[in-house]
Amino acid sequence: MRRIFLICEKELGTFLTSPMAYIVTAIFLALSGASFSTYLAQTSYSDTSIRGFLEAGQLLILLFSALLTMRLISEERKLGTWEMLLTAPVREYEIVLGKFLSCLIVLGGMLVLTLFFPILLVILGDPDLGPIFTSYLGLILLGCSSLSIGIFASSLTPNQIVSAVIAGGILFGLWFLGPVGNLVPDPVGEILSYFSLSHHFPGFMRGVVDTRAIVYYLTVAAVFLFLSVRSIETERWR
Amino acid sequence: MIKIENLTKFYGERLAVDDISFNIERGEVVGFLGPNGAGKTTTMRAITGYLMPTDGEIWVADYNMRKDPLKGRQQIGYLPETIPLYTDMSTRAYLRFVARLRGLDRKEAQKRIDEVVEICRLEEYINVLTGKLSKGFRQRVGLAQAIIHDPEVLILDEPTVGIDPLQVVQTKELIKELGRKRTILLSTHILPEVNLICERVIIIHQGRIVAEDSIENLSSILEGRQRLRLKINGPVDEVTENLSKINALSEVSYRDPYYLLEFPIDQEPQNEINQMLTRGGWTLLSMEAVELSLEDIFVKLTSKREEEQ
C-alpha cells in the first residue's frame, strides 16, 4: 500500500513538472467550455444543463486518457528506469495501481475545474442538480476504464506514440461498438452494445444510476489493470 | 552470498545463457568478463530478478529468487547497463524516490542520501536535474542509487563504459572502496579493468563459463607467449606451409591479409622467418607484435577446455 502511494506521488510530481498535464488540461477545458456554451446558445438558454459539456466531455476523456497514460510505462522502458523499478522490492500490481491512481487524480483535477460550468448554471439559472451529480459520477467511471486501457497500451511498447495509438484504437473501438450494436439485430446487437463504452453513459446524463453501468465500467478498469500487471509479469519470462 | 545453479535462459529460440553455475562468497569482488553478447547482462538480470530464468535456481543471501523475489531483491543493489535515471528529477529527488522504494522511511532516506552523496562525491550536483548531468556523473548517481539502501550485494553491469579515462579511474577506486564490506559482481568486456578491482574472474563466452579462476592463475595461463602479425607478398599456401616448418613457432594461422604467428617468450624466430622469405623470394610487407585480445583469450580458453574434455 505504501509503495502504491509512493509511485503515485512520484508520477504526480512528473505530471506537475512537465508541460503535458497543463496542456492537456487547458485544451480539455477550452473544448469542454466551447461545447458547453454552444449547446446553451443552441437551446436559447432554455435547457440549463451541462449536456453540451457532457457530449464533448465523454470523447475528450477517451482522447486525453490515451495522452495522459501513454508515457507511464513506455517512457520508463526507454529511460531504463523500468529495470530499476522491476528489481526493487515492489510488486507489479503496486506499480500499475500507483500509476493508475496518479492519472485518476489528474483527471479528477481536470473534472473539478469543469465544476465551473454547473456553478455558473446555479448562479444564473435553475439547473436540475441530480443529473449533474450522476453525470460526474459517470465521467469518473468512464475515466477509470479509459485510463486503465491507456496504461495497458503503455505496458506493451517503449514507444509513446505507438502506445497512444493502441490506446486510442481500443478506446474508440469499444466506443463505437454501441452504434454498431444498434445496427445489428438482437441478441447480438444487444451484446455488442453492452460491451460498448458509450452505451452506459446516457443513463448517467439522465440522472439514472444503473448498477449494471457501474459494474461495467469498473469491470473494464479491473480487466485492463489486470492485463497490465500480466503484461509486466510475462515480460520477465520473455 | 550469490549462488547460481544450472542457470539457463532462452529468448524465444535463442539460447543466451547455457547451464551455468557459480558461487560467490560473502565479501568477494568478482569480475564477470566476456565479449558483447556473451550472456553477462542476461545472467545479471536473472540474479537481480529482472528476468526469470528458463531453468535453474538462484540464491541471493539465502533467498531463492524464484520463491522469495522481494526479499532477495532487497539485498541487492543494481546498476544496469543503461543507467536508470528519471531525467526530469533532481539528483536529490531521484535518490529520495529510490530510497523510499527500497523501504527507507523519510528520516532514514534523508540520512542515507547525505551519506551516498558524500561517498559518490555528488555534493555539487544534488539539485541538478539528472538529465543535465554528464555521463560520468550519471554513472555516479547510478552507483548512488545502487547503494542507497546499503545492500550486501552489488551487481554492476559495465560500470565504466562510456565515461572518460579520468572518471574511469575514480569510478574504479569508488568500486574498490565499496567492495571492502560488500559482495560485488561486476561485468566488463575490457580485460585490464578487472585487474585493479577484482580478486576473482569468471569468464563467459557464448553463454557458457569458459574459465573461473583468480587473476594470478589466469594471467599465468595467458602470459609466456608472444604474437607477431606479418603481411607477406607471396602465395598463401606455400608461405603457410613454410612458416609451419619453423620449429620455434608454436602456431601459424592466416587471417586475410595477415599471418598470425605465436611462439614462447624465450624464442626468437625472426631470423628463421627472414631466411625462409629469402629462400622463397617473397617480400615482407610488415611485421608487428600483437597483444592478446580478449577475443583471443576466449578462443584459447575455449579450445583449452575442449582439449581437457
The residue-averaged pLDDT of B51-74 equals 92
CB-CB contact of A16 with B93 (8 Å): no
pLDDT number for residue B288: 83
Query: Where residue B256 sits, what CATH number does that domain have?
Result: 3.30.70.100
Residue B245 Cα, gap to closest chain A Cα (Å): 53
Q: Do B101 and A85 touch (CB under 8 A)?
A: yes
Residue in chain A closest to B83 (alpha carbons) equals A80
Beta strands in chain B (DSSP E): 2-11, 14-24, 29-33, 55-60, 63-64, 76-79, 153-157, 183-188, 200-205, 208-214, 225-233, 251-255, 258-264, 283-289
B220, B242, B271 - which closes a domain: B220
Q: Do A90 and B49 touch (CB under 8 A)?
A: no
CA–CA dist B186, B156 (Å, integer) = 5
For B217, the 3-state DSSP assignment is helix
| Domain co-membership, B137 together with B260 | no
3-state helix, strand, coil in chain A (%, to 5): 80, 0, 20
B182, B200, B220 - which closes a domain: B220
| Domain co-membership, B208 together with B230 | no
A238 touches chain B (CB under 8 A): yes
pLDDT number for residue A181: 81
pLDDT number for residue B192: 67
| Domain co-membership, B183 together with B299 | no
Residue A218 Cα, gap to closest chain B Cα (Å): 28
| Domain co-membership, B128 together with B246 | no
Q: Which residue has the cell 577484482?
A: B198
Q: In this structure, how many other beta carbons lie within 10 angstroms of the beta carbon of residue B99?
A: 23
A206 touches chain B (CB under 8 A): no
| Domain co-membership, B123 together with B205 | yes
Q: Do A89 and B45 touch (CB under 8 A)?
A: no
| Domain co-membership, B128 together with B179 | yes
CA–CA dist A127, A207 (Å, integer) = 12
Q: Which three cell numbers stand for residue A37?
A: 456554451
Q: Do B84 and A80 touch (CB under 8 A)?
A: yes
Q: Do A14 and B101 touch (CB under 8 A)?
A: no
CB-CB contact of B64 with B14 (8 Å): no
Residues in chain A closer than 8 A to B76 (CB atoms): 87
The pLDDT tens digits of the residues spanning A29-43 come to 999 999 988 888 888
Q: Which domain holds residue B141?
A: 2-220
Window 68-97 of A, Cβ < 8 Å to B: 79-91
Residue A140 Cα, gap to closest chain B Cα (Å): 29
Q: Do B50 and A13 touch (CB under 8 A)?
A: no
Q: Do A85 and B49 touch (CB under 8 A)?
A: no
Residue A158 Cα, gap to closest chain B Cα (Å): 14
Question: Residue B38 carries which side chain, given as an amino acid letter?
Answer: A
Nearest to A237 among B45, B49, B52 (CB): B52
β-bridge partners, B184: B29, B154
Give chain A's mean pLDDT: 91
Q: Which residue has the cell 577475443?
A: B295
pLDDT number for residue A161: 94
Which is nearest to B170 in space by CA: B141, B145, B148, B140?
B140
Q: In this structure, how many other beta carbons lie within 10 angstroms of the beta carbon of residue B67?
A: 10
| Domain co-membership, B215 together with B233 | no
Residue A23 Cα, gap to closest chain B Cα (Å): 17
A13 touches chain B (CB under 8 A): yes
Indicate which of B44, B52, B143 best probes the interface with A, i.e. most A CBs within 10 Å of its own CB: B52
CA–CA dist B44, B168 (Å, integer) = 21
Q: Annotate A43-105 with three-state secondary structure.
A: CCCCCCCCHHHHHHHHHHHHHHHHHHHCCCCHHHHHHCHHHHHHCCCCCHHHHHHHHHHHHHH
Q: Dihedral angle at the C-alpha atoms of B33, B39, B43, B44, nearest 10 degrees?
A: 60
The pLDDT tens digits of the residues spanning B264-275 come to 777 788 888 888
Residue in chain B closest to A81 (alpha carbons) equals B84
β-bridge partners, B252: B261
pLDDT number for residue B221: 62
The total number of structural domains in chain B stands at 2
Residue B52 Cα, gap to closest chain A Cα (Å): 5
The pLDDT tens digits of the residues spanning A148-198 come to 999 999 999 999 999 999 999 999 999 988 888 888 888 888 888 888 988
Residues counted in chain B: 309
CB-CB contact of B230 with B284 (8 Å): yes
B188, B220, B252 - which closes a domain: B220
Nearest to B51 among A10, A80, A236 (CB): A236
Size of the A and B interface in Cβ pairs below 8 Å: 73
Residues in chain B closer than 8 A to A87 (CB atoms): 48-50, 73, 76, 78, 80
| Domain co-membership, B166 together with B197 | yes
**A86 Cα distance to chain centroid:** 26
The pLDDT tens digits of the residues spanning B180-236 come to 889 999 998 776 677 778 888 898 888 988 888 777 666 666 666 777 888 888 888
Q: Which three cell numbers stand for residue A9?
A: 506521488
Q: Do A10 and B97 touch (CB under 8 A)?
A: yes
CB-CB contact of B49 with B212 (8 Å): no
Listed in sequence order, the residues at least 6 apart from B17 whose beta carbon sits closer than 8 Å to its beta carbon are B7, B8, B9, B39, B42, B43, B46, B53, B207
Range of weakest confidence among A112-116, A224-228, B141-145, B165-169:
B165-169
| Domain co-membership, B78 together with B185 | yes
Query: Where residue B164 sits, what CATH number does that domain have?
Result: 3.40.50.300
Listed in sequence order, the residues at least 6 apart from A69 whose beta carbon sits closer than 8 Å to its beta carbon are A99, A103, A147, A150, A151, A153, A154, A163, A167
| Domain co-membership, B240 together with B177 | no
